[in-house]
Amino acid sequence: MQVPKRLQPLVEEGVIDDVVRQLMSGKEAMVFVVRAGGETRCAKVYKEADKRSFRQAVDYTENRKTKNSRQSRAMAKRTRFGRAAQERAWQSAEVDALYRLAAAGVRVPRPYNFHEGVLLMELVTDAEGNAAPRLNDVELTAQEARDWHARLVAEVVRMLCAGVIHGDLSEFNILAGADGPVIIDLPQAVDAAGNNHAPAMLERDVANLRNFFGRWAPEILASNYGDEIWSAYQSGTLTPATSLTGRFVREEKAVDLEGVVREIGDAEREEAARLMRIATA
């Protein structure tokens, strides 16, 4: 096929040998099957900000840092330069997350290169060697649903142990690879320790898995891995080997009503004394 304009520089520099075909076009990027170094890989070409529908919500970008103070100021002011810098930061977030997660043993596509808005990475395939389908296009048996749910909960744990929360995990960004589920699409990945929305995003990711696999194995719908995982993470006891039950009961402490009344009374008396001092001064 004709080489797309955005891939032409990589062909000219020898990073890509040939473009085989377009694999998909999504809300934030187009993906092509390419040949590079004698291997078949995929190239993710990020769409420009004004040509894609996914919004860079502040919930996702909270606490993302840039080392360049000029870029930080420009990004805050939303200047043209700042918007371009923000776009580069959004794209590089996925690259950083992929390298970080791959090093931690999370099953994500292996990244190879990132150049001018193009991410070159592993092409995930099915058992026949074809591009792997997304999980939402796969029919499962009840036992397959149980097995895949357990594997993906373990991947979520492994991600969190590496300090990362996917933030948008669902059947639409998980591939059914020959060796099991592979997690994709990470530009909105969240820093677990530095984002106030991290607990809610983790719970949403886990709930999406629960609701999807619960279609085939209804007992999964009664599980509560999200709160259990986050509680272990907060207590510093979470590891990839942590044994989970899927059950979690939040500890409710009884309210000391008498203590609350005493506190209110003390505050009222202190305020009355303060006003008296002002009146007699």
Active-site residues, by number, are: 168, 185
Measured CA to CA, the distance from residue 248 to residue 191 in angstroms comes to 24
Residue 29 CB contacts under 8 Å (≥ 6 apart), including other chains: 44, 45, 46, 47, 52
174, 209 contact by CB (below 8 A): no
Q: In the block, which residue shows the tokens 């998980």?
A: 174
Instruction: Provide the CA 56 distance to its chain's centre, in angstroms.
Output: 13
If one counts every other C-beta atom within 10 angstroms of the C-beta of residue 75, the result is 21
Instruction: Provide the CA 117 distance to its chain's centre, in angstroms.
Output: 19
Measured CA to CA, the distance from residue 40 to residue 260 in angstroms comes to 67
